[in-house]
Each structure stands twice: as C-alpha cells, then as structure tokens.
C-alpha cells in the first residue's frame, strides 16, 4: 500500500491531462506567479482564519502563521516553475507536504475547500490581470495534482498505521472497508 511519489506524480499528470502546453504556460508566467503569491497567501489564511477549527490549528504554536505565509509563497511559486519540470523532485516535495498535513491531523474536509479557495482566488486574479483562460486551466490542473498528493497521504498513512498495528493483510483490510461501507 506504500505510495511511490514519482509513479503517483506521472499517474496524476496523465489523469489531469497536464500537457507540455500547460507547463509552458505556467513557467512563462512564473514572475507573475511570484508577484501575486503574497496576496494569494493573504486570501488563503484569511479564509482559513474565518473557520474556528482551522484558525485554532493555524495559531496552535508560536510563529506558525508567519512561517505558513512564507511556505505558501514558496509552494505557490513552485507550481509555476515546476522545480524540475514537474518531475521527481516536484513529486517528493508534494508528498512531503502531504505527510506534514497528516501529522498535524488535517483531513480532506479542511484541504479540499482550502484548495478550492486557491483556485477561485487565482482565477479572479487571472481575470483582473487579463491572463488567458489557458493559464487559469493549467493552474487548476496543477492545484489538483497537489491536492491529490495531500489527500492520498492521508489515506496511505492511516492504512499503513492500521496494517502495522494489527498485522492484517491488505486483502483483509480492503474487505473490512467494503463491509464497513456497505453497513453505513
Ligand atoms: C490547499 C491546501 C494547502 C496547501 C497547498 C498547504 C501548503 C502547506 C505548505 C507548503 C506547508 C509547509 C510544509 C513544509 O514545512 O515543508 C504547510 C504546512 C502546514 N499547513 Fe498547510 N496547506 C494547505 C492546507 C492546509 C489547511 C487546510 C490547514 C489547516 C488549518 C493547514 C495547516 C498547516 C500547518 C499547521 C502546517 C505546519 C506549519 C508549521 O508549523 O510549520 N494547511 N502547508
């Protein structure tokens, strides 16, 4: 059940249809991406701050929100530059981000709407700056890949924890999930 970030990345690239044209569109707008990143970070953390549960997580430790603004800017810019042309290093970095969120206990209910906020705000900014529809679409695709990493990390870590703790086989675990889902 262990996830291989590199294979997962290429699967996601295929599944969201991230093309060379999308990659060119992103990298040719990397300077713009970096320029708007602080404003996107402001939108992002203001949105989360309006939710009591997420706000508590953001302020749980000293200096966390400040650090988060900086890491968001870096993350946002990396979507445009692709780190290594959206290759293995990109995959490792996104997997690591996923694991960090699992450790903190941030699940799909937090991450999905948060990513929707990024997509909405960057779409608004694209319109405002008269950027092409192709750029907006390329950004949505790369956000979906990043989201898939965070979501998949949640599943992988919880499944592995159960398997290790119980000694169950993967087959048994899957059967229990199916039975559990049927019972709901
Ligand atoms: C679109 C979804 C999200 C993205 C792209 C994102 C991005 C990131 C990045 C890049 C990091 C830094 C990882 C590192 O240190 O290498 C991080 C850490 C973190 N994120 Fe998120 N995040 C998302 C959603 C959320 C949500 C919904 C929460 C919940 C409130 C959250 C809370 C945190 C916390 C608490 C940390 C660790 C901060 C620290 O103490 O260093 N994130 N996130």
Q: What is the pLDDT of residue 160?
A: 86
Among 41, 102, 104, name the best residue to mutate to test ligand 1's pocket (greatest count of ligand atoms within 8 A of Cβ): 104
What confidence score (pLDDT) does residue 182 get?
A: 83
| In contact, 86 and 18? CB cutoff 8 Å | yes
Nearest atom in ligand 1 to the alpha carbon of residue 55 is 30
> Against a cut of 0.85, is the pTM above it?
yes
pLDDT confidence of residue 11? 98
CATH number given to 5-183: 1.10.490.10
CB of 114 within 6 A of ligand 1: the answer is: yes
Q: What pLDDT, on the 0 to 100 scale, is given for residue 1?
A: 54
CB 142 near ligand 1, within 6 Å:
no
Q: Evaluate: CB of 54 within 6 angstroms of ligand 1.
A: yes
pLDDT of residue 126: 97
d(CA 113, CA 63): 24
C-alpha–C-alpha distance, residues 174 and 179, integer Å = 9
> What residue's CA is closest to ligand 1, atom 20?
101
pLDDT at 181: 83
Residue 122's closest CA among 50, 82, 72, 87? Answer: 72
Atom index in ligand 1 nearest the CA of residue 57 equals: 30
Ligand 1 center from residue 118 Cα (angstroms): 13
Cα of first residue to Cα of last residue in the chain, in angstroms, is 24
The per-residue pLDDT string of the chain (184 residues; one tens digit each, 9 = 90 and over) reads 578 999 999 999 999 999 999 999 999 999 999 999 999 999 999 999 999 999 999 999 999 999 999 999 999 999 999 999 999 999 999 999 999 999 998 989 999 999 999 999 999 999 999 999 999 999 999 999 999 999 999 988 888 888 888 999 989 988 988 888 888 8
Give the C-alpha separation, 85 to 72, whole Å: 20
């Amino acid at each position: 059940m262990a996830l291989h970030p590199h294979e997962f990345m290429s699967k996601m690239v295929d599944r969201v249809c991230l093309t060379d044209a999308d990659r060119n569109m992103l990298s040719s707008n990397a300077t713009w991406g970096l320029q708007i990143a602080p404003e996107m970070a402001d939108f992002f953390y203001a949105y989360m701050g309006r939710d009591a549960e997420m706000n508590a997580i953001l302020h749980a430790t000293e200096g966390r929100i400040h650090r988060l603004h900086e890491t968001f800017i870096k993350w946002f810019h990396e979507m445009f530059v692709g780190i290594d042309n959206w290759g293995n290093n990109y995959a490792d970095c996104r997997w690591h981000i996923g694991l960090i969120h699992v450790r903190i206990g941030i699940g799909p209910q937090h991450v999905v709407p948060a990513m929707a906020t990024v997509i909405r705000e960057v779409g608004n900014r694209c319109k405002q700056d008269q950027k092409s529809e192709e750029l907006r679409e390329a950004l949505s695709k790369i956000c979906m890949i990043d989201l898939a990493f965070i979501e998949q990390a949640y599943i992988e870590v919880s499944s592995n924890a159960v398997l290790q703790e119980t000694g169950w086989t993967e087959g048994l675990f899957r059967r229990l999930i199916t039975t559990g889902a049927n019972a709901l």
